Amino acid sequence: MLLNLVFKIDDMNFTQPTPEKWQIQEYLLVIKIPEGLSNKLIQIKQSFATKFLNESAIKIRPQILILSFSLAESNETNLIHRMRTVIKMHAPFSIELNGYGSFPTHTIYVNVVAKQKILQLVKTLRQLQKWMKADKNKQPYFIVAPYITIACKLLSWQYEKAWNELRYANFSAMLMAEQLVLLKRKPGMHYTIAANFCLKAKHTLGYSQTNLFY
């Protein structure tokens, strides 16, 4: 009996993940901003970087963060499949941008107004949080107040000077959220695209209807 069991296991041709696949990766799930609007925001960020001597403004691409987490790369494919199942049940929706906001004394951003649709998306993605953990001490972060970063990690003088100029400045735009992008990186490296997701439903289903995972 033992010999037969050994043969059956060998026949499965089971292979362990390579050591690289067990490495922890950092992930961001973001709403992709259409190219035309993205270019306008990049111009604002470039102007900010020049005027207030802040390189972070041009290092961060315009995007709306949905969540962030750390995960062993070996678990990535399984999570992407689950995320795709949830995200495709949401319909595309409009997002309004209006004016600037800040986190004193280090960050300035573009305000996202009418956040309900984004937070509804976040709520359904919370179903997957047990698959978004590198270990029990690293919990995923889900956004509660969406925004688009202009610059962060500001020195106090940069923040005060920039905020005095931008707090009453006019900026408004509309965009359609039709695609989400999952970005990943090894700690300290640049982000690359791990997956793209499309919002496909004609009407977004209620939370109870998308509660698919246990």
Q: Which tens digits make up the pLDDT trace of 6-15? A: 333 334 343 4
pTM of the model: 0.84
Give all strands of the β-sheet with 192-198 in edge-to-edge order.
Answer: 141-142, 64-72, 24-31, 179-185, 192-198
Q: What pLDDT, on a 0 to 100 scale, did the predictor assign at position 56? A: 85
Instruction: State both tokens at 188.
Output: 């300290």
For position 20, what pLDDT does the model report? Answer: 56
> Does the CA dihedral 106-97-145-164 come out positive or negative?
positive
Bigger pLDDT: 197 vs 206: 197
Q: Does the structure show a pLDDT above 90 at 19?
A: no
- Interval 60-105: pLDDT, tens: 899 999 999 999 999 999 999 999 999 999 999 999 999 999 999 9
Determine the CATH number of domain 26-95+118-150+176-203.
3.90.1140.10
Mean pLDDT (the chain) is 87
Listed by start position, the domains of the chain span: 26-95+118-150+176-203
